[in-house]
Structure 1
Amino acid sequence: MNNKPIKEHPEKYDAIVIGTGISGGWAAKELCEQGLKTLVLERGRMVKHIEDYPTMYMDPWDFKHREKQHPDETNNQHNQRKLWRGALTKPATKHWFVDDVKHPYNEEKDYLWIRGYHVGGRSIMWGKQSYRLSDLDFEANKKDGHGVDWPIRYDDLAPWYDKVEAFIGVSGENLGLPQLPDGKLEPPMELNCVEEDLKSSIASNFDDRLLTIGRAAHITGDKARAGRSKCQYRNRCIRGCPFGGYFSSNSSTLPAAERTGNMHLRPNSIAYEIVYDDNLKKATGVKVMDAETKETFFFKADIVFCCASTIASTSILMQSKSERFPNGLGNDSGELGHNLMDHHYAVGASAQVDGFEDKYYKGKRPNGFYIPRFRNLGDEKTDQKDFLRGYGYQGGASRTNWKHAVSELSYGEDLKKDILKPGPWTVGLGGFGECLPYHENKIVLDYDKLDSWGLPTVTFDAEVKENEIKMRIDMRDQAVAMLKSAGYKNVNGHMGKAIPGACIHEMGTARMGRDPKTSVLNKNNQVHTVPNVYVTDGSCMTSSACQNPSLTYMAITARAANHAAKTFKNSKNS
C-alpha cells in the first residue's frame, strides 16, 4: 500500500455501489431509480456498450491465426487459460480476462479464480443460464443440519425474481416443478431433432425426470426494452452483443441507472476499505485507489453496497479493520471468508446418435437443454442413501466431425461433396452438483504477498469432499443410463477432477443468516452490526443449491436495494 495522503472527496453521496457486474448493475439501477445519488465504483477500465466490443463482428478469417492462440500470447493468463481448453483466452475473448501476473492469488489446494476487471464485469461473459431457487433449496440447511438456516424463503424472493426476469428477458419453458419454480419467461428456444428424441426417450423411460430447453437470459419475445433487441442466434455472446440480445450490465441495468441522472460511474477505482466510524457506529464511506495513478481517495456516503463479486467483496470486508472490528468489518461471528462454495462439474456422458442424417439445424443457438434436479426432493422415492442434496444437467446435441474434409483424404469433386456433408450427430450431458457449505473451505488474506497496488493477495483453501464425490458417481451413472436408454451408440461416461472455482459460480464467504453469532448478513443483506452496509453478490449465499446462481444474485440485490432506499427515505423524513 502506498503512503500517499488520502484525499477526501468533497461531495457526499446517498449511496456507493462497489462493482458493476451482475449484482452491482442491479444495485445501481434500483438505487438510482429510487432517487438516490449514487457513486458506482469499478476497479477496471471503462467498457461502453457496443463501441467497446472489439471482436463482436469478427469472423475466424479476420484473426491472425484463425482464432488460434499461440501459447506465448497467454503467458500472463496462466490461470485464466486453464479452463475449457483455453477457450477463454482465445483472441476473440482474451481481453475480457485478467492478467494473472498483475492479479495473483495463492492456493493451498487447487482453485481456479476466473475474473474480468472492467465495467460490466463478468456480466459480459456469463453463460446466461437463469434458474430460480426453490424452498427445497432455502430450507435444505435447516433440514439436514449443514450450514446455517437461510433467513429468507422462496416467497420472500418470488416478486423480485418476477421483476428481474421481466426486465432482463429470460427465455424458457415453465414446467410446474416445485424444485424449479416457474417464472416470467419469454418464448423458449427450440430443441433440435436429436434433443427432442432424447426428451421423448427420457419421458418414456423415466418417471422422475424430464428434459427442457435451458432458461437463458436472451430476449426472444416482442416486449420492447430500451436499447436492446432480440437474440440473433450468433452465439458470440462472450464477445459482447451489439444487439443487446442477452442481458449484461452494459446493455441493460447501467444504462437504466444512467437515464435517471443519479449515477456517477467511476472506472479504474479500486475500493479497498469500507470506513467504519466507531463513534457514529456506522460506515461513513469507502477508500478508493485510482488503478492508474495509485492516488487514494475517500468517498462519503450514507449507504454502501458491496457487489464486487464473492471473493473481492469479502476481501474488502476483511481489509476494513477498525478498533470495533479488528478482524474485518462485521466479522463478530468469525465466519467472514469461510463457507466458500462453487458447483462441481466435469462429470457426465456423451454418445453418438444415428438415424438423423437427413436433419440439421439453423443458426447458432446460444443455449442448451436442461434436466432439472431429480434426486433428494424430500420424498422416499427420490431420497438417496449415499449423498445429500442434488444436481441437474446441461447439455446439447449437434453435428460434428468434419475430418472427412481433410485434403489428404480426398480431392476434386469428391472433396467438394464431402465438405457439404456434416458429420454424425453427438449428444452430451454435463452435471452441475450442489456443494455443501463447509466452514473449513475458506479464503484468507496474505499481507506478505501483495499485488501490483500494494494490497494483500487472496489465498484459497477449499476442496470438494465426500458428499460431492459420491454425488459425482451418480451424476455420471445416470447420464450414461439416460443415453443408453435412448439406444444411442458409443455411450461414454466421464468424471474429471472437480476443481473448486472451475464452474465460475464461487459463492459464500459472507453468508446470510438468522443469528449474528454464526453469520455475517441479516435477511435484508445488511451486515448484522453495520446495517448501512449491504452485501448482495455471491458472497451472501448461505447454500449453493445446484442451479446457476446469477438470477438469484439479481433478485436478492433488487430486494436489498429497495429495502435500503426505503430505509434511507424514512430516515430523511423522520
Structure 2
Amino acid sequence: LRLLLLSRDDRCSKGLIDPHGLIGLGLMDHVSVARFFALPAQAPAPLGTGLSGAESAFIPNTGEGYGLWCGVQRFDPPALLRRDPKAAIGFLIGHGEVQPNPSNRVCLDHGRCDAWGLPVAHIAMAWGMAEQTLVNLMLSRMQTVVQAAGGEIKPIEDLFRLALIEPWLTASAAGSQAVPPPGYYIHELGGAPMGDNPERSVLDRWNRFHTCSNLLVTDGSCWPRSGWQSPTLTSMALTRRACLAAISRQ
C-alpha cells in the first residue's frame, strides 16, 4: 500500500490514478483471542498421532465468521513447572473476520521520512463494536468446547510455575486475557480491494489496477473481505491465478 500511495499521481507525474481516493482505506486484520485450558489426567499422546505438521486442528464456525485453532499436549514442560503434573494442557485461539472500515487505513506520514527522503507509512486501526461482539462469541464457544471435554479454562499462571518470567508473560499479548491489538497476528489485509465497480474497488477481478491494467497487486491488500481463515495459501493462489491470466492475455 505504501508503494501504491508513493506512486499515485498526486506525488509523481503520470502516476497511478486513484479517482476516488480508495488506496489504503479499509485495512483489516483478524481479531483474535486465546485461552489455555487443562483436561483431567490423560495418558501421554502416542507418537505419530499429530493431526498436522503442527499437531493442531481447526474447529470452523464459518457461518458465524470465526474459527478456533486448537491443540492439546503440544508442549510438555517438566513436571516441576506444571501445577498439576497429570493434567493435559491445551490452547484455543479464535480467529475472527474483520469488516473493511474506511477509518482503518494506511496513509503517508509527510512529517516523517525514511533514509531516502520518502514519507513512511502511517497506520490507523482499532477494533470496533462488531469485533468485540465477535470476541465474546468466540469466548463463549471456547467455554462450550472445553467443558464438553471435561476440562477447565485457566490463566496460564494457574497452569504453570513460571517463576521470574510470570510478570512479563502475563503482561504480554500472548499470556494476557485481553484481546491483542490489530497487527498482533500479522494477517494484514485490504486497502486495495478487488471488485467490479471502480468506484468501490482499486483492482478488477484479475488483480489488475483499474486505471493501469499492466499493474498487478496480489498481496494481502487485494482482499475485499478478510474471512477468518489464515490468508497465506489464498494469497499464493490469487498470485498464481493473476499471473496465469496475464500470460493468457499476451
TM tier relative to shorter chain = 0.7 to 0.9
Asked whether 1:396 is paired with 2:71, we answer yes
Contact 2:31 2:97 in 1 (8 A): yes
- Could you tell me how far apart the structure 2 residues matched to 1:525 and 1:333 are? 18
- Could you tell me how far apart the structure 2 residues matched to 1:366 and 1:553 are? 21
Q: CA RMSD in A?
A: 2.6
Residue 492 of structure 1 corresponds to which residue in structure 2?
A: 154
Task: Write out per-residue CA displacement over residues 297-355 of structure 1, whole angstroms, 9 at most, x where no aligned residue.
Answer: xxxxxxxxxxxxxxxxx11111113379889623112110100000011x243321224
Contact 1:400 1:424 in 2 (8 A): no
Give the secondary structure class of the aligned counterpart of 2:122: strand
Please list, as runs of the form range in 1=range in 2, the aligned pairs for 1:147-162 lying within 5 A after superposition. none
- Assess, with a 3 A threshold, how the Cα gap between structure 1 residues 460 and 357 changes in structure 2: closer, same or farther: same
Please list, as runs of the form range in 1=range in 2, the aligned pairs for 1:111-510 lying within 5 A after superposition. 314-322=1-9, 329-345=16-32, 347-357=33-43, 359-361=45-47, 365-376=53-64, 390-398=65-73, 400-404=76-80, 424-488=87-151, 490-492=152-154, 495-510=177-192
- Assess, with a 3 A threshold, how the Cα gap between structure 1 residues 393 and 319 changes in structure 2: closer, same or farther: same
- Assess, with a 3 A threshold, how the Cα gap between structure 1 residues 442 and 532 changes in structure 2: closer, same or farther: same
Residue 213 of structure 1 corresponds to which residue in structure 2?
A: none
**Count of paired positions:** 225
**Offset of residue 559 of structure 1:** 1.1
- The structure showing larger relative contact order (alpha-carbon pairs under 8 Å, at least 6 residues apart) is 2
- Could you tell me how far apart the structure 1 residues matched to 2:9 and 2:138 are? 47
- Could you tell me how far apart the structure 2 residues matched to 1:358 and 1:539 are? 43
In terms of Rg, which structure is larger?
1
Structure 1: which 5+ residue stretches go unaligned? 1-313, 377-389, 407-421, 570-574
Task: Write out per-residue CA displacement over residues 251-306 of structure 1, whole angstroms, 9 at most, x where no aligned residue.
Answer: xxxxxxxxxxxxxxxxxxxxxxxxxxxxxxxxxxxxxxxxxxxxxxxxxxxxxxxx
- Assess, with a 3 A threshold, how the Cα gap between structure 1 residues 342 and 405 changes in structure 2: closer, same or farther: closer
**Offset of residue 450 of structure 1:** 0.9
- Could you tell me how far apart the structure 1 residues matched to 2:101 and 2:81 are? 51
Give runs of ≥4 in structure 1 deviating > 4 Å.
Answer: 323-328, 362-365
- Could you tell me how far apart the structure 1 residues matched to 2:43 and 2:125 are? 46
- Assess, with a 3 A threshold, how the Cα gap between structure 1 residues 338 and 358 changes in structure 2: closer, same or farther: closer
Higher strand share: 2
- Could you tell me how far apart the structure 1 residues matched to 2:31 and 2:58 are? 16
Asked whether 1:552 is paired with 2:231, we answer no
TM-score of the aligned structures, taking structure 1 as reference length: 0.37
Residue 531 of structure 1 corresponds to which residue in structure 2?
A: 213
**Offset of residue 529 of structure 1:** 1.0
Contact 2:8 2:17 in 1 (8 A): no
Task: Write out per-residue CA displacement over residues 335-382 of structure 1, whole angstroms, 9 at most, x where no aligned residue.
Answer: 10100000011x243321224235443598424111112544xxxxxx
Task: Write out per-residue CA displacement over residues 177-222 of structure 1, whole angstroms, 9 at most, x where no aligned residue.
Answer: xxxxxxxxxxxxxxxxxxxxxxxxxxxxxxxxxxxxxxxxxxxxxx
Aligned amino acid, residue 508 of structure 1: G
- Could you tell me how far apart the structure 2 residues matched to 1:340 and 1:433 are? 15
Aligned amino acid, residue 461 of structure 1: A
Task: Write out per-residue CA displacement over residues 53-86 of structure 1, whole angstroms, 9 at most, x where no aligned residue.
Answer: xxxxxxxxxxxxxxxxxxxxxxxxxxxxxxxxxx
Give the secondary structure class of the aligned counterpart of 1:484: helix
Aligned amino acid, residue 525 of structure 1: N
Give the secondary structure class of the aligned counterpart of 1:372: strand
Give the secondary structure class of the aligned counterpart of 2:189: coil
Task: Write out per-residue CA displacement over residues 393-432 of structure 1, whole angstroms, 9 at most, x where no aligned residue.
Answer: 11111153415289xxxxxxxxxxxxxxx76311111100
Residue 170 of structure 2 corresponds to which residue in structure 1?
A: none
- Assess, with a 3 A threshold, how the Cα gap between structure 1 residues 405 and 372 changes in structure 2: closer, same or farther: closer
- Could you tell me how far apart the structure 1 residues matched to 2:14 and 2:185 are? 30
- Could you tell me how far apart the structure 1 residues matched to 2:91 and 2:31 are? 17
